[in-house]
Structures are given as C-alpha cells and as structure tokens.
Chains A and B, each alone.
Chain A
Amino acid sequence: MGEKRKSTSKTLVKSKKSKGPHLPNSILKTIADAKRPLNSDEEDDEIDSDDVNGGDLYEYEEGVPEEESKKNNRYDRVDNYEYELPEDFEDEDVESDDDEDGGNSDNDDEEEGEGDDDRHTRMLQSLTGMPSAAFKGESKSKPVLFTEAYPESEFNPTRDVLEGKGLITMEDLLAPLQGKPGYNELSKRISRMQKDTESVVHAPLPKPERERLERKVVKVQVEKEFNKWVPLVKRNREVPTVYFNQDVNLGYSTIGAIASEFQPRTEFEKKMASVLNDSEVWDAHKEDGARLLELNEVSVEDHIKDRNRVAKMRSLLFRHELKSKRIKKIKSKTYHRLKNKGLKAAAVALMDPEMAKEVAMKQEVERVEERMRLKHKNTGKWAKRMISRGLNVKYDGTRAAISEQLQVHETLSRKISSTKDGSSSDESDDDEELNNGSDQDTPSKLIAKAREKTLQTVEDDEVPNSGLLSLPFMARAMKKKNEEANEEAKRALEEYEEWENSGGAENLKKSAEVSGRRVFGATAKVEAPKESKRESDNFYDNSDSDNDMEGIENNDLGPVRDIASPAKNSGAITETEKFDDVVGNPASKTTFDVALFASGSWKKMKGCQNAESKKPPKTLVPISESQNKKELRDEESEDSESEAEQMVDGILTSASKETYEIPSQADLIQRAFAGDDVVDEFEKDKQAVLNQEVPEPEKPVLVPGWGQWTNIQNRRGLPLWMVREHEDAKKKREQALKTRKDARLKHVIVSEKVDKKTEKLHTTALPFPYTSKEVFEHNMRMPIGPEFNPATVVGALNRPEVVKKAGVIIKPLKFEEVNPNDKGDDGNHQKQRPKKGSKGQSKSKRKTKA
C-alpha cells in the first residue's frame, strides 16, 4: 500500500484528503465526541500520543479543511471518488493505514502545502471566528511534528524500508553515479539485464496460500496413488471369505515326517540306530519271524533262571488261591464272625493290649446291664401305676399296651435263652441257609423239610402255665389261633403230599422260576382260594376283562389263566375258578406252553378269496358257557367285545346274536341325540377360553362407604373416570379379540397363551447387522447343515469369514491389478481349494483387515 502511495505521489495530494464520509463538520464533531468515551483503550492511547504531538485537534482539523476546500473548489468530486475508492477498498488493514495516512499526510502537508495552509487558516477563521494567529500557530507547529525519531538517512532506514515497502529501485542506485565514468556501460548492462529477465521475481505467495496450493497438488497425487488400491480393497471387503497366507509352507504336518529326519547324536542313540538299522534284522523282519528267533538268542542260564522264577510265582499263587478257597467254603457264620472278630481283636491288640482289655470289659458290662434292667417287664413306673390303679382292667388300650410290653419281654427273654444254646442254633442256621441255597435243585427235599417244619410247629404249641399267657382270655385267643394254624398246616401238608404224588418236581421248579405276574398250571390252585378275580375285574376295569382269556381256554387251547398278583388275595373262590377246576384238565395244565400259536394257527393264504375255505377247524368250536358271564360287563366293553365276536360270528356261528340286547328306548334316544348341541357347547367352550385368555375387565364398583355422604353422589352414579376407564378396558378387550387368529373362525379356538418355555427358542432382539425382522427371518429359513444341503455346497455355506493358518503372520496387502467390474464371487469360487503351488492366485487373496 505504502509503496503504491510513493509511486503515485502526485495524486496523493488529492487522495489523502478523502477521509471518511463527507459529512458536515458539526456532525463529525459530535460523532467524534460521542465515540471517544466509547473507544477502547488502544484508541485512547493513540489519542494520547496525538496529544503529545499537540494533535488533539488533529483529526478534526485535517478532516475539515479538506472537505471544505473541496467544496469551495468545486472540483469534480466524481473524479476524486473514482480515484479514491479503489484504494480504500483495497485496504486490508484499515486502522493501521489510517495511522500511516495520518503520518503521511502530515509530512505531505509540511512539504507541499504552503498555499493550502493559507487557505486552510482562512477557512478556519471564517468558520470559528477566531483570529487566524491561533490557527497559524497551530499550523506552524505542524512542521515540528516528527514521525521518526532519527533523521532520514541510509543508516536510519524508515519503517517502510525496513518492512520492504520503500523499495530502492535500480534507477535510484544509479542516479548518483550519473555522469561518472563507466556509468553508460553500467546502465547499458543493467538495461540489457532488465530486458533479459523482463519478469520481475515476485515476492513469494503468503504461506497459507502456498500451503493450500501444495495440498491441492499433493491431494491429486495421493488420490491417484490410492485409487489404484480401491478396487482391490473393495473386492476384499465384499468377498464373504478372506484367505491369508495360503501359499505359506508350514513344514512338517505329521509326527512321522518329523521323525523321518531324525539323526542319532548321542552315544546311546547311535547304538540304538545301529541295532535298528542293522540290515540283518531288517531282512529278518521282511522275510519271516524264523530268522528273528535265531537272532534273538538267549543263554541257557538265563532261561532257567527265568523259568524258575515263574514257577515259583505260580506255585505261590496257587497255594494262596487254595487257601482262600477253603476259607471261603466254610459256611459257618460263627467261624466267620470269629474270624472277623479275631482279625479285629488282633488289630486292636496289635495297637495296644491294655486297650483291648478295656474294650472287652466295657462290652461285658453293657451286656450285663441290659440283662439286669428288664425294661420290658411290668416293673416300669408307668406300668406299676396302671396296674395299681386297675386301669389295665378298665381300659382296653392300656391293657393292650401292657400286654404288648409283656410280649416283648417274653420274646427278649426267649432270645436270651436261645443264645445260651450257642453253637447248636448256629448250626441250624447254617443248615437253613444251605437248604435255602439248594432248594431249587431239590424240590422234593424242600417239600419234606416244609412238612417237617409244619409238623413241628403244630406239635410244639405248648401254652405257658404262668404269666399273661395263662390268663383265660389269652388262652382262648391262643387256642383259636392254634386251631387256625393247625388247619392251615394240615392243608399245607395235604398239598405237599399231592405234589409229591404228582411227581411235580418239574412243576414246582417252574413255579419257582416263574416270577412276576403270571403263574401257570397247578400253582394256580395253590393260591386259588385267595383270589377274587371277578371282583377285581369289576373294580379296576370295565371294558376288557380277563374273560377274554377264558374264551381262549375254552377253545381247547389249554387253560390259560391270569393269576392275579398277591395283592388280590381275599374272599372266596369265584365261579370262574370253580368252573375252571371242573373243566380244566390237570394233564393239560402241566403240558401247557407259551408257544401257543407257534405253528398251528398261523395260516398264510394267498388272496382272501380262499380264506374261508381254509378256515382252521379249531375256530369252529362254539363260544360256550363263558359267554353267559359277559352280562356283568358294562356297555363299552360289550361294544368292543361284541365286535370281536361278530367277526367270529360272521364266518362261524350266530352264537353272539343270543347275547345281543336291544337297547331301551331311552337309551336309543340318548344315543341318537348324544351329540346334538355340540356346536353350542363348543361356542361356550370358546367363550370360556376367550374369557380366560383375554379376561373381561372388572365392573367398576364403588367401595362401600366411599362417596356416599350425600344424595347427590348417589344420584350421579359412578364417577365419570371410572366409567371411562371401564369402557376403555372393554374396547381394548374387543380389539384384542379381533386381532386373535381365531376371531373369524367359528369352529376353531387357537390358544394364544404365551408359552414361557418356548421363549428361549426365539431371539428377543434382531442380531447385529439385520435391521428388519422380515429379512432376518427370510435369511434364517434355510438350514445350512450337511443334512440339508448337497455336499458340494455345504463347505461354501459354512466357510468362516477369515481363513488363515495358525501361527503365520499376516503380511500386509500387496498391490495387484483387479478388474473393478469383476465380481468378488468368482474369485471366491476359485479360492475354494487353494493349492499350495498357486502363488499368484493366493496372493490375490490377501487383505489387510481394517
């Protein structure tokens, strides 16, 4: 800016006069006054500095005369403006320029403005009415104003020069040399040089602009560089699977491969290798084992030693086995008990003999104490009291309790006495055990034994002469019991005899083996008195009774009978059983076998046409008496049964027609209209379900006592909000009913209950990338497992996003040409089975994962 000023110094005179808008003085003054207090500190400072130079009125002065002068002169203002404006607008730093302008203008005034000054003072005079001297003084003082601290010289460059504004041109430098020898030459050279260069070296652009430019260029370059990679990266992003390092050879993959390169290093290894790699051994291996044996020679001594050792071990083992076998065979409980005890005692004794003694003593004391206490005799406090007060006579319960006590005592005491017998009882125990163990092999023995036992029990029922049992009622009871027992025993004895007579060893065996629900043949008879099959049938089960089976029995297939479980015992023999006993042939009982229908009844026929002709004669046996019993069954069973019979009848007989009963009129009507109001019922059901699943809102009810203070409230009825709430709830319910699946379907109720257990089978939120439920569910519709897809596609369907080898560093992406129009998918397809050798291909699969 400054330099421009200098170069256009002639016009400056006019230009500098333009200062702000051309306003009347008075206005300017007021403005100035108004501004002053408002101005910031900086401005104040400026003003201060002005004051120092006596320039308090400076601005004011300067602005005004110029304006005035212009007005007076009536110069074409337009010209001035045209000149001025662009300069003003070009200004960037307005404030500083103003300052400079001020400075410059001062200087200019000094240098050139004599005439001007005169006019100026005159004008001031006329305006203010003050003597011109005052202004003169002022104006005179003006030249005194210094803007620079030092005189202007080359040693004291002005600020302009320092800032590079006041440029020293080549002419300036040459001027003093003018006329000196060599000047012409110099000037010529310089002019030539100027011509040569012509262009002036401009000042460099401002830094930000320069940088901006630089950035622009760099951007273009970088973009070019980067765009090259775009297709590659894009492709890698789009492929469903990225492969890394497919071409890297990881080396050994098997232990065998590693082992194959083993080199023996240590002494031992070398020896081993020499043996292993011995060609003789190898050959022997290759051919057959014979040569190997030869190679594997053992010295005679070694062999004998070994043999002896083995023999010794064997004999030891054998002896041990024998010993343990013998011990195990001993069946005596006492022996074992003693043995165990002995072992234990030995253990204790081993620990400490004194302690063992102590323990023994303690045990003994305990035993004696127990014997002495007689807890169960009627010597207790309670029992004594009861007896003394005669309560035992009065109350049945008490009496029973006391007698029970006594009984317990009796048993206890008997036990004691039996223990006194000692080893004899043990023996008998053993015997029993033995028998129990072997009873399956010797049934006759068992029978004999049983008989013996029963006889024994019958015989040795002596009544004790004293004690409670000698009381008359007890005696009576005992007698009764004994009689019963005797009877039973007799029956049992009879049975035993029968068995023995019938040689029923086999039979028995069978009965012993058959376990569970079913028993065949004669064993049935044993339990027969305790059965009440009919009763149980009627009780448990209406439709299908065991009488089905009786039908079979009668069809001469043998008396197959379902023997009920022991739970069914009570009551007397039923008709069925009796009937069975009459009809049943004892011989057939024994020969009965499970394979009832094995061969005889199996008929395979070609075509059904000839089925009738080949009917087995067996089936012709009419259904006999057993049918009479069917009356007892209820209707349902009759339905099913009669069906079964009819089919028999259709071919065979008309026997079942006798059993058919014409149902009563009421029954018929009931059957005919059984399902009449089914639809109505269903509707009711539906309503019930709806009410349950979408419950009806509760009716609004006032709490008694609330809102009943006055009649007014009573008259008004329920508060409005309650009614509204109720209506809202109703509407909601209707809406819910409408949205149900079965809303439009009259004949269907679809439950909309939420099953909490199934909730875990659904996702609560959409999985990450998905944004719409529909898309997600559509994508989930296809199973991807090997069961549902062809083997060729399963791999592709289940391939992970990244395929890499474990432990191999992923190298950064390498550049490679990619056709942007090429679809990533094809590339993927190629990569399905990357070969180790195909380096070029696998390189393209690398990708940096960002």
Chain B
Amino acid sequence: MEVSSEDNNLMEKVVPPVEQEIDVELETKVKKYLRGGGANLETLKDKKLKSQLASRENLYGKSAKTAAKIEKWLLPAEAGYLETDGLEKTWRVKQTDITNEVDILSSRNQYDIVLPDLGPYKLDFTASGRHMLAGGRKGHLALVDMLNMSLIKEIQVRETVRDVAFLHNEQFFAAAQKKYAYIYGRDGTELHCLKERGPVARLRFLKNHFLLASVNKSGQLHYQDVTYGQMVASIRTGKGRTDVMEVNPYNGVVALGHSGGTVTMWKPTSQAPLVHMQCHPGPVSSVAFHPNGHLMATSGKERKIKIWDLRKDFEEIQTIHGFHAKTLSFSQKGLLAAGTGSFVQVLGDSSGASSHNYSRYMNHSMVKGYQIEKLMFRPYEDVLGIGHSMGWSSILIPGSGEPNFDSWVANPFETSKQRREKEVHLLLDKLPPETIMLDPSKIGAMRPARRKEKPSRGEIEADKEVAIEAAKSIELKKKTKGRNKPSKQTKKKKELVENAKRTFREQEHKTTFKKRRIGEEDAAAVGELPTSLKRFARKY
C-alpha cells in the first residue's frame, strides 16, 4: 500500500511522460480554459465582424493554451492520492496506517483536541485554510492558527454559540449567540452586536459579495453588507425554523433545508425563492455544495444522501442509501464527507468528471460517544476538520485539497502586508448583491426576453412582413385552361397579400385606437397647421 499526501511532499513521478499523453492532457486543460468554445462564425454574414471575431477567438485560444501550459508545467505540487494493491480497499485504510506513510509535516495534521466541557464544536476555516475558528456550544470561541498550531485567541462568551463564521479574513469573525449575533475582532474584542437579526441559528459569509447571511429561529433570512453595515435583505422564508444553511460558492446563492424535506435557494434581491426543491420525504438534515457549484448534496432524516445536478434540471444524480448525515461537506477536489454520530464517511467520485458516481472512499470512526457536529475540509490541505462534542479533531483524507494555491485567491502564507493589500483588492472587487443569481455567467449577456401582453409596433411590423412574404410565396394551383390566366393569378396573389395585410392593419388599429383618443389635441393641432405643412402632419 502506498499513501501519498499532497503538496509539500516532493515525491513526483519521474516517469518520462509520452508526448502524446501530454498533448491529450494539455488539450483537456485548454478546453477547460476556453470556457466552452467559440460560436460558429460561419453563420455570420458580416465579413469584417467575422474577421474581428476570428482574431479575438485566436487570442482566446492562445490565452487558454498558455494557461494550460502554465498549469501543466509550472504548478509544483500534485494532488495526494491513496493507492491500494489488489484486493485492498481504500476505505479499509485507517488513519494510523496513513500516519506511517506520510511525511512528518502531514502527520502533524492528525490530532484530537479534547475539550469536554464546552459542548459540541462548530468549525470554520478561512479561505486560505490558515486559520480555524472553533465555536463551542457553551460559549467557547477559539481562533487557531493551523500552520503552526498556535492558539491566537480564545474567549468565553458565556452564552450559547450556535454557529461561527469567518468574515473575509481572519481579522474578523462572527458568532451566532444566544440572543444576537456578534462580530469579533481577531483579538476577541466585540466589534458589533447584530441585533436586527434576532436569535441567529446559522451564519454564512458570502466572500465575493461581503454579505453576512444568517437565518434566525423564526426562519428569517437576513443579508447584511459587512462593509457598511446595511441590511441588504430580510426575507421571510415562510418555511419555519431551520438550521440547515449553506452557500453555493459558485454563485452566492444561499440554500436552506427545511423540515418538509424541501431545499430552497435564495438571493437577496428577491423575496421569493429562486428554486424550491423537494429533496427528501423527511426533514433535511444537511446541505453541501460542490466548489464548482454544479453539484449539491443533501441528506435527509430518512437515512439517505442525495446528490443533485444544479446545472440544468435540478435532477437527482445519485442516492446513497442507509446513511444519515448530520453534516456534509465537499472538499476542493470534490470529495464528499458525511458525518453522523461518531462516524465519518468520505465519498469519492470514482467515475470521470462528466458522470458523477460517488462511492465509498474512506471511513473514520471517532471514539464512541463523540457526537460529530460539523465537518469541514481544510482548504489547500488534505485535512478534514471534525468538530464534535468533545472538542475537535483533524484527520488526513488524501486527495481532498487543492494542491496549488493561487496567492491572488487565497494565500496560506500571507504576510500582514499582503493581507492588507488583499483586503483592499477584495473591497474594490466587491460584487453588488444583484449579481447573485443562479447562472452568473449570464451577466453581461442579452436580457432574457420578457413575455409581453401586447406585441410592440416593431414586432407587429416584423410579423406583418413575414406574413406578406409567406402570402407571396404561396404557389397557386394550376387550374383548368380558362381559369389559369396570368392576369387572374396575379389578381389572386394580390388578394392573398391584401388579406395577409388586413389582419395586421386591424391589430395596429386596435393598438393605436386608445392613443388617438388620448391625443385628440394633436389632431386639433394638425388642423391648425398652415396648409403647406399639413402634408407632413402624421395621419392617423
């Protein structure tokens, strides 16, 4: 059995790769960077535009190719993996086995922190995975630097803490406490008390929009802009109390799981849910989103985990039976961790990228009696954080984290100067709340056609022209000798065209009728015009 843990290990394949293989690999990568390929330019009639677009497309191709090459050759680390021999199964591999195989640095990520007194712990990681926030139910908040395993600050708020969440960086974090939610600074000072939300059950932070979303006990969803403190939206879900809430990282849509087995997705600019899905017959116990936003996993109290495709039809892709997950979490590489009781199961996507087929990848059982409260993969590490009733633990799940971090996106080794710079950049790039929608790639595209009750004048014109063309192109039947005269035929055709026109004339008349009644003064004005100008007056 071989186990390799990601990033820091330098065990790279030394096998000289065949050129073709590289080409194929590059091809797939290029495809990824091309973001779906260009339009068919052959249909274009405008030569100039065609050549312009062709050159643009050429540039895009170049860009994608370079990006693919960079990814191929310049990204240093490879994702970790778990390799088994023969009959060995990956899910039989235990953490102790992994410990023996991985390097010291990785093995340091296996630990349990036992804090028996202050209840089940909620966890949250920063985007870079550098910092972790643990919130004990009984009021213990701890901010931990995961890189050197040092406690930065811990405070005891002496109130129930229901959820914790980092804001845009580790400088601020929010905690949902007994009565209100609070925002704390890195040093544990209370910065804000968010009274408007009521007793908050779940907190999530939308990184790109700087919105702190929360759902409270009466099932109200709140969005608050943390940059200037305005409550952007306050939505009554009307579905009762819920403590299942997750943010789709791809588009910022917030999903709530309800007791009726439904999952609703929300955006701040609409009071009605974007999508309303019936996922389970019983209450939904947890929801998780794949980082690319295409997959959603839900678990119900009826001991089923379901995986849904969000791209097209919100179809169910897969059902995993017999496992009730109290908490679900997707890793950056698409592994799905489900925790219940004191047992963690990690599901892996065994098939290719196109068809998702999640199956058992790894298991982990905690000490009996530990109740898992929250699972969360640590970004950019092959680590799964487990918050449970006796503190928190961390285990290694090879291949879960993204091996290469992009310092523009999230940098685990950020200096304070970089952090400050980043903060400014983030603020400048802040997205307005309107940009939250199911398909954000539609931003900048044509406005989707709206259904209209009455066609506009232009549309009527267009229809009319089409109808006339159709009437003109009608082939007349060849009739008997006397009746097939060309004169008769032309007459007939004229009639047809007239008929086609007439229907539209009536329509137009209808539409303009009201206008005429309103603008009667206009007609009077026409009467007043000098005779020389009268012919220019519009005739109704």
Contact = CB atoms under 8 A, between A and B. Distances in A.
Interface of A: 237-238, 240, 518, 540-541, 543-544, 546, 548-549, 551-552, 555, 557, 560, 562, 594, 596-597, 601-609, 611-612, 614-616, 618-619, 640, 643-644, 646-651, 674-676, 678-679, 681-682, 685-686, 689, 736, 744-751, 753-755, 757-764, 766, 769-782, 787, 789-790, 792-793, 796-797, 825
Contact of A770 (B49, B55, B282, B435): B49
Q: Which of the listed residues A604, A612, A649, A782 has the most CB atoms from chain B within 10 Å of its own CB?
A: A782
Nearest to A739: B451
Interface string B107-141: 00011111111111000000000000000011110
B296 to A, nearest CB: 12
Q: Which 4 A-B pairs have the closest CB atoms?
A: A650-B369, A647-B389, A778-B39, A544-B160
B66 interface: yes
B52 interface: yes
A603 B114 contact: yes
Contacts of B113: 602-605
A651 B315 CA distance: 43
Given A607-B110, A748-B314, A761-B444, A647 B370 contact: yes
B249 interface: no
A764 B52 contact: no
B510 interface: no
B22 interface: no
A606 B139 CA distance: 26
Nearest to A636: B241
A616 B116 CA distance: 9
A676 B282 CA distance: 8
A38 B45 CA distance: 59
Contacts of A792: 66
Contact of A753 (B60, B70, B96, B270): B270
Given A606-B111, A748-B314, A780-B444, A552 B117 contact: yes
Contacts of B43: 772, 775
Interface stretch (B1-9, B77-85, B258-266): B258-266
Interface of B: 34-41, 43-46, 48-49, 51-53, 55-60, 62-63, 66-67, 70, 95-96, 110-120, 137-140, 154-156, 158-160, 162, 178-179, 199, 217, 259-262, 267, 269-270, 272-283, 313-315, 366-371, 388-390, 393, 408, 434-435, 437, 441-448, 450-451
B198 to A, nearest CB: 10
Nearest to B37: A778
B447 A782 contact: no
B33 to A, nearest CB: 9
Given A240-B55, A650-B368, A675 B277 contact: no
Nearest to B270: A755
A745 B310 CA distance: 13
B177 to A, nearest CB: 9
B276 A748 contact: yes
A759 B260 contact: no
Contacts of B35: 781-782
Contacts of A759: 447
B275 A751 contact: yes
A749 B276 CA distance: 5
B367 A608 contact: yes
Given A766-B446, A825-B58, A611 B114 contact: yes
Contacts of B276: 682, 685-686, 689, 748-751
Given A541-B179, A779-B38, A773 B66 contact: no
A675 B282 contact: yes
B498 to A, nearest CB: 25
B111 A781 contact: no
A825 B41 CA distance: 18
A41 B40 CA distance: 71
Contacts of A751: 270, 272-276
14 contacts: A548-B160, A597-B118, A607-B96, A607-B110, A615-B114, A643-B389, A644-B138, A648-B116, A678-B262, A747-B277, A751-B272, A762-B446, A775-B40, A781-B35
Contacts of B60: 782, 797
Given A552-B117, A607-B110, A647 B38 contact: no
A612 B66 contact: no
Contact of A682 (B119, B262, B315): B262
A611 B116 CA distance: 11
A762 B371 contact: no
B446 A745 contact: no
A425 B45 CA distance: 97
Q: Which of the listed residues A562, A746, A770, A778 has the most CB atoms from chain B within 10 Å of its own CB?
A: A778
Contacts of B110: 606-607
Contacts of A518: 158
B112 A769 contact: no
B446 A776 contact: yes
Nearest to A770: B49
Given A736-B451, A776-B446, A597 B66 contact: no
A763 B51 contact: no
A779 to B, nearest CB: 6
B48 A769 contact: yes
B446 A777 contact: yes
Contact of B120 (A644, A744, A746, A797): A644
B317 to A, nearest CB: 13
Given A750-B274, A789-B67, A240 B52 contact: yes
Contacts of B155: 594
Contacts of B96: 607
Given A611-B114, A747-B279, A769-B49, 4 more contacts: A608-B367, A616-B116, A773-B446, A781-B35
B510 to A, nearest CB: 13
Given A647-B370, A757-B434, A763-B445, A678 B66 contact: no
Given A789-B67, A797-B63, A605 B445 contact: no
Contacts of B262: 678, 682
A790 B63 contact: yes
Contacts of B179: 540-541
A615 B116 contact: yes
Given A541-B179, A647-B390, A597 B269 contact: no
Contacts of A681: 260
B523 to A, nearest CB: 29
B140 A597 contact: yes
A651 B369 contact: yes
Contacts of B261: 675, 678
B170 to A, nearest CB: 20
A518 B112 CA distance: 32
A560 B139 CA distance: 12
Contacts of A649: 369
A248 to B, nearest CB: 27
Contacts of B53: 775, 779
B183 to A, nearest CB: 15
Given A541-B199, A685-B276, A762-B444, A644 B389 contact: yes
Contacts of B314: 745, 747-748, 750
Given A544-B160, A552-B138, A751-B275, A781 B441 contact: yes
Nearest to A686: B276
A781 B441 CA distance: 7
A754 B158 contact: no
Given A240-B55, A646-B371, A769-B49, A764 B444 contact: no
Contacts of B313: 744-745, 748
A751 B46 CA distance: 38
Contacts of A758: 269, 434-435, 437
Contacts of B37: 778
A560 B158 contact: yes
Contacts of B277: 747-749
B120 A647 contact: yes
B302 to A, nearest CB: 8
B11 to A, nearest CB: 24
B445 A647 contact: no
A297 B12 CA distance: 72
